[in-house]
Copies of this chain bind each other. A is one copy, B any other.
Amino acid sequence: MTLPDSVVVGIDVGGTNTLIGFVDAEANILCRKSLSTKEYFNPQDFVIEVVRIIHYFFDENKNFKLKGIGIGAPNGNIHHGTIDFAPNLEWKGIIPLVELFAQYFETEIILTNDANAAALGEKIYGGAKAMDDFIFITLGTGVGSGIVSNGKLVYGYQGFAGELGHVIVVKDGRKCACGRKGCLEAYCSAGGLVKTYKELLSETVIAESDKEFSAQMVYEKAKTGDIYAQKAFLQTADLLGFALANFVAFSNPQAIFLFGGLAKAADLMLEPIKEAMENNLLQIYKGKVQLLCSSLPETDAAILGAAALIGN
């Protein structure tokens, strides 16, 4: 009889969906599950469902044993194991997620910012393996980031470093989910792109601008020649490139990685973002910062990054 192999559960709590992966010692994802975060109005019910999924896996796979649970979540606080005031989740205030999970498992449970976890995934398994200084930007329901400097994740004093989606890029600009105005997220998230598209439509094609669109639909329209959709992508890229140039002045990274839903539109966005970034960079940085798409599949980076919090 052999000893059971240890498995880490990596959980990526997203504004829309939550991904759960069971990761072995060789970083293979043995099994992936997902659930709709938005369907759970309170975090207790959410935790009960995730616990059910975890128990089911280990009941079905007696040759594996749980080594730990790593969680990436918006506004995840590594110091306290809590989600604090996450603007893109239904759960308001401070959510003691680690404590809620700890009622069910006697194992190590670590929670951090979802983008930090994904950045860790890029560093350990992806394109940033050889890099000590890089910025990882997630472009999805929200805009998040993980910053690696001197080879280490920048957590900051409270554990909330890298909220680059909430850098204000347009003074008194568009309202953001965080309650303030003009945040990068209000423009360069999936919803921000759609809003820009609808604003552009409303200037001329008023009837169309009342319709509901997804970022995916705007992408497809842009690919089939819709000039408003194309312009929406260019405006989004322009503002993101401008913001990235400012971020470079902060930590002088070797590369910036783009990740998540909008990063999939790299064919429309990457070159214009790069152009806008270069145009706005201080002389000493020009031509020195690589702009790259994450080399990890979207689901895996977040799961592997979350799992990497435990170390397998």
- What is the interface of chain A, defined by CB distance below 8 A to chain B? 75, 84-85, 131-133, 147, 149-150, 152, 154-164, 166-168, 171, 178-180, 242, 245-247, 249-254, 280, 282-285, 288
Q: How far is the CA of A245 from the CA of B133 in the complex (A)?
A: 23
**When the two chains form their complex, are residues A250 and B161 in contact, meaning their CB atoms are under 8 A apart?**
yes
**When the two chains form their complex, are residues A179 and B283 in contact, meaning their CB atoms are under 8 A apart?**
yes
Q: How far is the CA of A224 from the CA of B163 in the complex (A)?
A: 42
Majority DSSP secondary structure for residues of A touching B: loop
**When the two chains form their complex, are residues B249 and A251 in contact, meaning their CB atoms are under 8 A apart?**
no
Q: How far is the CA of A162 from the CA of B285 in the complex (A)?
A: 12
**When the two chains form their complex, are residues B160 and A252 in contact, meaning their CB atoms are under 8 A apart?**
yes
**When the two chains form their complex, are residues A246 and B149 in contact, meaning their CB atoms are under 8 A apart?**
no
Which residues of chain B are near A152, meaning CB under 8 Å? 150
5 closest A-B pairs by beta carbon, nearest first, are A156-B252, A157-B254, A161-B252, A163-B249, A133-B157
**When the two chains form their complex, are residues A168 and B245 in contact, meaning their CB atoms are under 8 A apart?**
yes
11 further A-B pairs in the complex, CB-CB below 8 A; given A84-B284, A180-B282, A246-B246? A85-B283, A85-B284, A133-B156, A147-B250, A149-B150, A149-B154, A149-B156, A158-B284, A158-B285, A180-B280, A247-B250
Q: How far is the CA of A84 from the CA of B171 in the complex (A)?
A: 32
Q: How far is the CA of A157 from the CA of B256 in the complex (A)?
A: 12
Which residues of chain B are near A162, meaning CB under 8 Å? 249-250, 252
Which residues of chain B are near A252, meaning CB under 8 Å? 154-163
Which residues of chain B are near A245, meaning CB under 8 Å? 168
| CB of A166, distance to nearest CB on chain B (Å) | 5
A167 CB contact (under 8 Å) in B75, B133, B250: B250
* Complex: chain B residue closest to A75, CB-CB: B284
Are A282 and B150 CB-contacts (below 8 A) given A156-B252, A157-B253, A250-B250? no
* Complex: chain B residue closest to A171, CB-CB: B242
| CB of A126, distance to nearest CB on chain B (Å) | 17
Q: How far is the CA of A131 from the CA of B158 in the complex (A)?
A: 12
Which residues of chain B are near A161, meaning CB under 8 Å? 133, 149, 250-252
| CB of A156, distance to nearest CB on chain B (Å) | 3
Q: How far is the CA of A149 from the CA of B251 in the complex (A)?
A: 10
Q: How far is the CA of A150 from the CA of B300 in the complex (A)?
A: 28
Which residues of chain B are near A253, meaning CB under 8 Å? 156-157
